[in-house]
Amino acid sequence: MAEIDSSTPFLQSFSGRVRLFPLPNLVLFPHTVQSLHIFEPRYVEMVEESLAGDQLLAPVWLQPGWERSYDGRPPVAPVACLGRIISHHRLPDGRINLLLQGMRRAAIRRELPATRAFRQAEVDLLDDFYPSSGSARRHQMQQALIDLTRDLLPNRDVLNEQFDELLASPGSLGLMTDVFAFGLSLSLAVKQQLLADWNVDRRARVLIEKLKAIQLASPLVGPPFLPPFSLN
């Protein structure tokens, strides 16, 4: 999958204002796709507005303790993931099933006043940052991530070809960290830490450390597969 940047048509006219979708059990990443079932009236309204306009919304992780004020405006993480609705299906009772593609990290600058049923914010989109000092070690980090993930997943042989293709893709370390962070069994707090860091080399080092700790604690943990890679 190619890196998504500001030349993407859906972001060319991006205003910096997003619809926030606070969720307690999901941290979305760029380069990944998540299915969502929308049933709360405020979020059905949010999705309908998105579909009628820019097709964008931003899932953001609800901070621990959100249960005390879920119907209000409980605290959310400072970095969300801007996503684009790539398909949807309306159900007869008004609920909506959709697929959301993660596009860019979005740092929340300020949340807007509560004038709608759903929450909105002004955000700054964050580009992946590749420090020049890390270029010599980047390939080794890519290989380390490939090797660790192969060890942690039970169906290794099935994934070898996809791993090799991903490793061969130029400039793919940022994509790789996002796909693996999304698909592997990491805590939501760790996933949020990785989402919030736009320094790719630092993000990769943290992910490698976390995967090594999982490997030492309990081999072969994690889901049976990663989200399918797309190289379009």
Enclosing H/E stretch for 33: strand 33-38
pLDDT over threshold 90, residue 90: yes
Residue 155 banded pLDDT, cuts 50, 70, 90: low
Distance CA 47, CA 98 (A): 9
| CATH architecture under which domain 9-126 falls | Roll (2.30)
Given the structure tokens 């290989």, which residue do they identify? 143
Residue 115 structure tokens: 């004038």
Percent share of the chain, pLDDT over 70:
79
Q: How far apart are CA 107 and CA 148, in angstroms?
A: 30
Dihedral over Cα of 100, 84, 105, 150: its sign:
positive
**Which pLDDT score is estimated for 12?**
73
Instruction: Please check the confidence at residue 102 and state whether its pLDDT lies above 60.
Output: yes
Of residues 152 and 121, more confidently modeled? 121
Domain chopping of the chain, boundaries: 9-126, 132-217
